[in-house]
Chain A
Amino acid sequence: GQNIDQPTEMTATEGAIVQINCTYQTSGFNGLFWYQQHAGEAPTFLSYNVLDGLEEKGRFSSFLSRSKGYSYLLLKELQMKDSASYLCAVRDSNYQLIWGAGTKLIIKP
Chain B
Amino acid sequence: IAGITQAPTSQILAAGRRMTLRCTQDMRHNAMYWYRQDLGLGLRLIHYSNTAGTTGKGEVPDGYSVSRANTDDFPLTLASAVPSQTSVYFCASSDRANTEAFFGQGTRLTVV
Any B CB within 8 A of the CB of A60: no
Pick the contact of B42 from A41, A91, A99 — CB < 8 Å? A99
Which residues of A sit under 8 angstroms from B43, Cβ to Cβ? 43, 87, 89, 97, 99
A102 and B42 within 8 A (CB): yes
The docked-state distance in angstroms from the alpha carbon of A15 to that of B20 is 45
Which residues of A sit under 8 angstroms from B103, Cβ to Cβ? 42-44
B100 and A99 within 8 A (CB): no
The docked-state distance in angstroms from the alpha carbon of A91 to that of B100 is 10
Pick the contact of B98 from A4, A44, A95, A98 — CB < 8 Å? A95
Any A CB within 8 A of the CB of B1: no
Mark contacts of A80-103 with chain B using CB atoms, 8 A cut-off: 1 yes-contact digit, 0 otherwise: 000000010101000111111110
Which residues of B sit under 8 angstroms from A30, Cβ to Cβ? 98
Main SS at interface, chain B: loop
Any A CB within 8 A of the CB of B65: no
Which residues of B sit under 8 angstroms from A97, Cβ to Cβ? 33, 43, 45, 101
Any B CB within 8 A of the CB of A33: yes
The docked-state distance in angstroms from the alpha carbon of A61 to that of B102 is 20
Any A CB within 8 A of the CB of B86: no
B45 and A41 within 8 A (CB): no
Contact residues of A between 28 and 52, Cβ < 8 Å to B: 30-31, 33, 41-45, 48
A48 and B100 within 8 A (CB): yes
Known A-B contacts: A43-B103, A89-B42, A91-B97. Give 14 more (CB < 8 A): A4-B42, A41-B105, A42-B90, A42-B104, A45-B100, A87-B43, A91-B98, A96-B48, A97-B43, A98-B42, A100-B42, A101-B40, A101-B42, A102-B42
